[in-house]
Structure 1
Amino acid sequence: MVSDENEAPPDGDNTVLPVHNLPSPTVKPSPFSEQLMTVMDLLDSNLESKSKLYKDLSLSYIFLMNNGRYIMQKIKGSAEIFELLGNTWTRKRSSDLRQYHKNYQRETWSKVLGCLKDEGLHVNGKVAKPILKERFKSFNAMFEEIHKAQSTWIVSDEQLQSELRVSISAVIIPAYRSFLGRFRQHLDAGRQTEKYIKFGPEDIETYIDELFDGNPSSLMRRRT
């Protein structure tokens, strides 16, 4: 028996779907696209290897951010290459750059922030002045050391440079201002305050804005 071509297909797994409802076939990357992906992976591996040559972990993350941002700009500047690599590659590299930034923040500034916490400052319900003085001394020393080193580092991409400075300011300045507000009154006014509180919040902001310029400077020399 020959069925009518217009007859509705029977229910079940053998139902024939209209062509427009069929799933799109997977597009296989071209050989050139695959070769380009391989080259980019090799480039990434090479940069990772070179970053490990830096003894300073913070500098290694700056190196990876500098080079990663440069590569991303070049890829996005070529519509043909961008299309060959695709959105998946771009999203992965953008995620890598964000992770390098987070790693830099943690490696560089986590110990500095540790100086500005309340834990360990109170003994028998009172602020222990010797511990408080040591916290201020540690903060001053760490901040000055970071400024001394990282003001000589160069981040040539202005947007990346700005992003780094803004993110540092966002975590350091509020924490420092809050710490000062809670504890500066526990130091004796006069010489003791001047000895241990070497920076105001505005000073911190100014010095952060000098990072990544490639211009070495000493906070100690500028304060005297």
Structure 2
Amino acid sequence: MTTENRCSAAASDGQTTLVAESYDRETDSIIRTYNFHAHDISGLFRALKIETFESWASYELDKLDIETLNSGYGLGIHHDGRVTLRMRSAVDEYPYLLHTNRELLLMLQGRKPLSVFTDEEPSTNGIPPLFPEIKFDAHVGMGRFVKDEYADAVDNGLHRLRWVFYALPEEAWRIRAYILLLETSKHSGWNEGFERMQGSLLGYSEQENDFHIEFQRMRIQRSA
């Protein structure tokens, strides 16, 4: 989604809709979402000491920031875990719960059979992975999940993309199916059929996949 589209999804009638998300400390998963409207967005950014608020970015808030939002907008955000702030975007229009940033909690609840993450292959520069790998790996060690990896060259072989899979033990077949999906799409290109299969492997229902596919079609039509 372009910055322009994200902004239009977040702003209307002279106000900007923002989303604060609080995370569970143990699973690093979103457990509550707070939507609110800001009429003076520049003033709010100054109060939160955010010099430049990018429409696509998510900003982690400290305790003082949270208190500023609670007192100014009556949100009642809990302080114990991590809290982030971002602009409302098109993904917030989905009528069902998206798994993004909720993967570990949903898997522990048995509501998600497979989680898939991508990152560049580990290097010596000490940059941590873009997902809570250590927290997931702890459950692999206890037998709650199975883990597998798949590497693929990108940018004409200059980089290698690392795919990391976690599945419930009885759902481990989904990992091989997902890798087959990736390998096949390299030859045929990505399409709606692959998109639907991906959603099913990740645990979305047929009705949720129907909405997602139609939503993507509408976005493409609007941007054309």
- TM-score between both structures, scaled by the size of structure 1: 0.23
Name which structure has the greater RCO, CA cutoff 8 Å, separation 6+: 1
- TM-score between both structures, scaled by the size of structure 2: 0.23
- For the pair shown, the structure with the greater C-alpha radius of gyration is 1
Report which of the two has the higher share of strand: 2
